[in-house]
Amino acid sequence: MTDIDARLRDDVHLLGELLGNTIRDQYGEAFLAKIERIRQGAKDDRRGTTGEELSAILDALSDDEVLPVARAFNQFLNLANIAEQYQLIHRRDDQQPEPFEALVLPTLLTRLLAEGHDAESLARQISRLDIELVLTAHPTEVTRRTLIQKYDAIAEQLAAQDHRDLTLAEKSQIEQRLQRLIAEAWHTEEIRRTRPTPVDEAKWGFAVIEHSLWQAVPHMLRKADQALHAATGLHLPLEAAPIRFASWMGGDRDGNPNVTAPVTREVLLLARWMAADLYLRDIDKLAADLSMQQATPALLAVAGEHSEPYRAVLKQLRERLRATRNWAHSALNSPRAAPDDVLQDNRDLLAPLQLCYESLHACGMGVIAEGPLLDCLRRAVTFGLFLVRLDVRQDAARHTSAMTEITDYLGLGRYEEWDEEARLTFLTRELANRRPLLPGYFKPAADTAEVLATCREVAAAPGASLGSYVISMAGAASDVLAVQLLLKEAGLERPMRVVPLFETLADLDQAGPVIERLLLLPGYRARLHGPQEVMIGYSDSAKDAGTTAAAWAQYRAQETLVNICREQEVELLLFHGRGGTVGRGGGPAHAAILSQPPGSVAGRFRTTEQGEMIRFKFGLPDIAEQNLNLYLAAVLEATLLPPPLPEPGWRVLMDELADDGVKAYRAVVRDNPQFVEYFRQSTPEQELGRLPLGSRPAKRRAGGIESLRAIPWIFGWTQTRLMLPAWLGWETALNNALERGEGQMLAQMREQWPFFRTRIDMLEMVLAKADVDIARLYDERLVAPELLPLGVHLRDLLSQACAVVLGLTGQSQLMAHSPDTLEFIRLRNTYLDPLHLLQAELLARSRRQQATQDSPLEQALLVTVAGIAAGLRNTG
């Protein structure tokens, strides 16, 4: 048993014991004993030992016991998550090795120097890295923010007890705090009663910055600077911000009628308010600390006649930050122009901080300059005056509809009926024309009015507050030009990146030709002003074709785009729309970045961070720092040591795998007439629509699987542990390759090609979480007899997928190479199994009784959904 297992077991045992005390206090000893019988029954079932049958205990629960039992196991799983997260950052003594995340950058720099990269070029490359993590506007975070704060406080107490010189009184005090926090969490309702608004989502994103990233970013940069200096003797320049943040929260209106132009404006102002407030806290502290008198003439010239010149300069900045915060707050209620003292340019924030920094160094007080002042400077460079850059996203069909109404009104015909050439001719001509397209008295219909209002908000907002305008379901060059024309019509005079998002298999195959067409259009280059950004969609391509074909299409699309932009001498920025799960392109970021096609990560990388993964990766400062380190090192390595090009034979085999994979996937998902009904009966998909996950509806429109968003599509299969979207198609593709005698080449691809190795590793990870027996349990309880054979078939395919992956990896057990991961899964199963059984029973009761949303039965059902999501740490 490894040290991490021992520590984890101790923490889980302690937290479980304290939760047990809380449950006993409310429900009594007999109820707690019942919970323990259920837990022991789950352990016995997993071990295959005889004991009291778990299903019998659960079936005997009375209606008023169902909710507290579900809540108990839900809380157990959340506490296990806290313990597991803390294991990643717990204090180590000098004998224990540093974690991989702390060593990844120093080790890489040593390797790069050995490979022949000189010190100056390395320092320059790190300082020029352009990594942007985009917090998305449709989080699948099922845990309420008030509970997240309590869970963070529990993690802090685990850290407090991780000191060996604690007295008995101190240990007792920590345990009392833990007991109180766990009781607070237990007596707090897990499930939101209402869906969050887009503004609520944005505030949740800002809270992650306030409570975690605000500390993590300067710490990460400080350590990166130390690693760079140790390796090269050089330092990171003050203006370096290799990692920045953007957001879709309040900007993503794709299929979400709740995101409107006023919402976008409100979120932009809230971001300015929050940024000013956070800097004010820093400046107050610095003004208290920097009481020195000696200063350079440059600083004295700004401070004036003052005995404490640093304080004088910082107090001037403080007044402007207060004015900025006050204006942003008042403008939320009544729009008004910003007064002159409101900060508008990031240089006005940076200049006084840099002046203090340089003066302290010049006067022999460098040790003071390198403290909190440097941290504040790093934050100012990274977050700026606007905290995050807000992306706007809208569906291409909405722009087409708006353009149709406009051309119809102008008597030019119906835009939607024109072919691509006619659209491009019209759009190119109007983009070059200086006169407005529309008269001031034009009164559009509601949908077009909203599109135009959004464009006006984009035009009115400061350029530095906005990221990109993303067009979902883009498929043609005209989709990009239409947005550029709408923005021009709204009065946008500065350049803005307009980004096509290629999502389906067919669109990914067309991505290269579409971008090439754009780059060759007259006037397009002049409007580009920077890199050509292209977004690659993972979620919808996987839902459309399965992960085998989707992954290869994404890879090929990137290769084509790299080649086209190189030929056209245009920089390329690829934006990866990855989800939290394997079925949506998720997985370990470090490995995923290193598996991209050579040349696709050329110092630039943009990716979404989605749903509950934001909390798991960035919710605590130390864990956030680890993950930022991984991004920094992976993008640097992919830039300077790109992976090899795949061998021609590998491409041929990958083409075959993709072709077999998509056929097998669609044969089930599209061609089997029973599939949709089986999905709806065997999973809680219908009930998920009632779970207040985010501000977006679960469907884009009425219809079958194709109308479902990728999140509930994945979420439904995850709840039943069939995990179908992540593996379906691979079992047939890999088996067919083995039958053709291509096993040796598959082994070679896994050994030598990072793309293929990463896909198989992610496949193995999700298969380790899948569970045939749990999936069968749902079928037995919920599925009509005529649909049961389909369930048997799907579970057989899952077993085939497991067998073929084991054959490929040469292991006797999935994830055998990662005992820690297996231990985490094993620990969770003890608490997950009762929730799965309970959920299946509750689904059956709910559908039979048609339970109302506020009934205890429905509440218990939603608690099981949240608990399983927490236990598997993969929802959407």
Write the CATH number for 331.
Answer: 1.20.1440.90
Instruction: Specify the pLDDT at position 139.
Output: 43
Residue 521 lies in a domain: no
H/E element, 498? strand 497-502
Are 364 and 199 spatial neighbours (Cβ–Cβ below 8 Å)? no
Are 631 and 217 spatial neighbours (Cβ–Cβ below 8 Å)? no
Distance CA 108, CA 93 (A): 24
CA angle 844, 848, 853 (to 5 degrees): 90
Are 132 and 606 spatial neighbours (Cβ–Cβ below 8 Å)? yes
Residue 69 lies in a domain: yes
Tokens of 597: 């096609």
Distance CA 182, CA 12 (A): 13
181 and 267 together in one domain: no
**Collapsing DSSP states into helix, strand and coil, what is residue 399?**
helix
Tokens of 33: 């004993």
pTM of the predicted model over 0.85: yes
267 and 175 together in one domain: no
**Collapsing DSSP states into helix, strand and coil, what is residue 759?**
helix
* Domain, as residue range, for 860: 648-872
**Collapsing DSSP states into helix, strand and coil, what is residue 176?**
helix
Are 155 and 730 spatial neighbours (Cβ–Cβ below 8 Å)? no
327 and 183 together in one domain: no
Of 163, 182, 197, the last residue of a domain is 197
Over the stretch 170-221, which tens digit does the pLDDT of each residue have?
A: 889 999 999 999 999 999 887 767 778 899 889 989 999 999 999 999 999 9
114 and 192 together in one domain: yes
Distance CA 250, CA 385 (A): 18
181 and 301 together in one domain: no
Over the stretch 499-509, which tens digit does the pLDDT of each residue have?
A: 999 988 999 99
Distance CA 300, CA 358 (A): 12
154 and 279 together in one domain: no
Are 538 and 585 spatial neighbours (Cβ–Cβ below 8 Å)? yes
159 and 296 together in one domain: no
Residue 405 lies in a domain: no
Residue 634 phi/psi, 5-degree rounding, is -65, -45
31 and 164 together in one domain: yes
Are 387 and 206 spatial neighbours (Cβ–Cβ below 8 Å)? yes
182 and 281 together in one domain: no
Q: Pairing mode, if any, of strands 604-609 and 243-247?
A: unpaired
Residue 509 lies in a domain: no
Averaged pLDDT in 10-residue chunks for the chain of 876 residues: 63 91 94 90 76 76 87 90 77 66 92 94 96 77 69 85 82 93 89 80 91 96 97 95 96 91 97 98 96 96 93 97 97 90 96 98 97 98 97 97 97 97 97 93 95 97 96 96 97 94 93 97 90 90 89 96 96 82 52 90 92 80 92 95 94 98 96 94 84 58 56 84 95 97 96 94 93 94 97 98 95 88 82 90 85 76 86 62
Instruction: Specify the pLDDT at position 592.
Output: 85
Distance CA 494, CA 486 (A): 14
35 and 177 together in one domain: yes
Q: Which has the closest alpha carbon to 339: 357, 319, 358?
A: 319
Residue 529 lies in a domain: no
272 and 176 together in one domain: no
Q: Which residues are catalytic?
A: 138, 543
Burial class (CB in 10 A: 0-12, 13-18, 19+), 446: exposed
Of 386, 408, 428, the last residue of a domain is 386
Long-range CB pairs of 54-57, under 8 A, 24+ apart, other chains included: 54/833, 54/834, 54/837, 55/837
Residue 513 lies in a domain: no
Q: In this structure, which amino acid lies at residue 659?
A: D
Residue 55 lies in a domain: yes
Distance CA 212, CA 622 (A): 8
711 and 841 together in one domain: yes
No. of H helices and E strands in the chain?
Answer: 39, 8
Residue 349 lies in a domain: yes
Q: How many CB atoms lie within 10 A of CB 12?
A: 21
Instruction: Specify the pLDDT at position 110.
Output: 95
Q: How many CB atoms lie within 10 A of CB 43?
A: 15
- For 517, residues 6+ apart whose C-beta sits below 8 A from its C-beta are 477
Query: In angstroms, what CA-CA distances link 350 with 281, 347, 357, 381, 431?
Result: 16, 5, 10, 7, 37
Of 363, 386, 409, the last residue of a domain is 386
Number of domains in the chain: 3
